[in-house]
Amino acid sequence: MVASPPPVPGSAAFIHREIVQLLGLIAVVVLAFFATRAIARTERGLVLREAAEWYREGERQLEAGRPAAAVDALQRAVARNRGEKQYALALARAMALAGDRPAARTTLLALREAAPEDIEINLQLARLAATDGDLSEALRYYRNALYAPWPTERADERRQLRVELIRFLLAQGAERAALTELTALQANLPDDPAAHVLAARLFSEAGDHRRALEQYQTALRLDPARPDALAGAGLAAFDLGDYRLAASYLDRAPSHLPRVGEARILANLILANDPLAPRLGSPERARRLRAGFLHAARRLDACLAAHPDAAAGGEGESLERDVRAFRARLRSPGVREQDTVEAGVDLMARIEWLTAERCPPASPLDEALRLIGRQHGAAER
């Protein structure tokens, strides 16, 4: 039998064979591609799982109070998964706890370049600056965190962060900046008496007793018998010099709370002994003036007798002369005149300031007379 000649290039059989070979090569390439991708995916999965395990190990070390070991574990986690922000944040926190705050800051700033409004990154930077006592930088990052877009469901967390900032500012003596943040906090308080009591306490710490009183009164409208609100309202009113309002709250507040018992006694002594109180009859005004003046004069006599040097050529000697002159004035018919009462209140306050300094401690009545003088404009020494 004669063999058939090989296919001539260009013939149908030749073309068919070439197509089959080409398809085979394509199939091999495709299979190789998918096999390589599957292997890469498997290897990547292994790396990510390893990173997650190192992250968990780092968290365990942090919980155990071993930040240096946590840093080592978390660096391994970050090296295996550089795209996971949670790992880098945990690493920065561990670095800070381990005492390497510059490295922590560098890590966080690198993260912030890609996400300048990220709440957690700005918050950690703020806390680092706060730990270092850097007021301006801490304030900047706290505010970056506060004014970033917050989900509605995190409103309580945002308020807590503002409270954290306010407390930091107060600790730094930055009352003006704290009051700015307190105004923002006040505008977003829920109808919760505890939230208003907290705001009131912060206002008091910042020196704004008027707005502290308003917040305590709001808390009392929500819960009229709340003990800490009654005490706080009474003390805020006391610090404002509104002793009648203070007594109305303090008389209902528990005595065991700080300052309540002392402030209640003083408020009631002031109300009972102030010669310049409104709507007093002339006989009662004169009685209060004489009683307060005689008490203060006796205290001055006792103090100067115990400290003769205080009377020699100084304020003590001047007060002794004023006391003698006022005794004579009290015996005159003008005792009921307004200027005599005002002069007596001023003299009592001057005596009480001197004797409190030279002969402590002062009795509650002595302190009440001093506060009466201050309330009516007597110049404190």
Structure confidence by residue, pLDDT tens digits, 34-52? 555 545 455 556 767 887 8
Tens of pLDDT along 241-298? 999 999 999 999 999 999 999 999 999 999 999 999 999 998 999 999 999 999 999 9
Assign domain 42-108 one CATH number from 1.25.40, 1.10.287, 2.30.30, 3.40.50: 1.25.40
CB 66 within 8 A of CB 56: no
CB 17 within 8 A of CB 7: yes
What is 200-248 written as a DSSP string?
Answer: HHHHHHTT-HHHHHHHHHHHHHH-TT-HHHHHHHHHHHHHTT-HHHHHH
Q: Do domains 42-108 and 191-273 have the same CATH topology?
A: yes
Residues 6+ apart with CB under 8 A from 310: 303, 304, 316, 354, 358
pLDDT for 317 equals 87
**For residues 196-209, average pLDDT:** 98
Q: If you ran DSSP here, which 8-state letter would residue 283 be given?
A: H
Share of the chain above pLDDT 70, in %: 87
pLDDT for 51 equals 76
Question: What is the number of residues in the chain?
Answer: 381
CB 101 within 8 A of CB 108: no
Spans of all domains in the chain: 42-108, 115-188, 191-273, 282-375
From CA 343, how far away is CA 82, in angstroms rounded? 78
CA 9 to chain centre: 90
**3-class secondary-structure state, position 361:** coil
pLDDT for 279 equals 92
pTM of the model: 0.81
**3-class secondary-structure state, position 150:** coil
Q: First and final CA of the chain: distance in angstroms?
A: 138
In this structure, whether the domain defined by 115-188 belongs to CATH 1.25.40 is answered with yes
From CA 173, how far away is CA 162, in angstroms rounded? 17
Q: Which CATH architecture is the domain 191-273 placed in?
A: Alpha Horseshoe (1.25)
Q: Which residue has the tokens 């365990």?
A: 60
Q: Residue 189 burial (CB < 10 Å; 0-12/13-18/19+)?
A: middle
Tens of pLDDT along 118-147? 999 999 999 999 999 999 999 999 999 999
- Average pLDDT of the chain is 89
Angle among Cα 173, 112, 41 to the nearest 5 degrees reads 145
**3-class secondary-structure state, position 143:** helix
Tens of pLDDT along 39-98? 545 555 676 788 788 889 989 988 999 999 998 999 898 888 887 889 889 999 999 999
Other CB atoms closer than 10 Å to residue 217's CB: what's the count? Answer: 18
What is 314-374 written as a DSSP string?
Answer: SHHHHHHHHHHHHHHHHTSGGGGSHHHHHHHHHHHHHHHHHHHHHSPPPPHHHHHHHHHHH
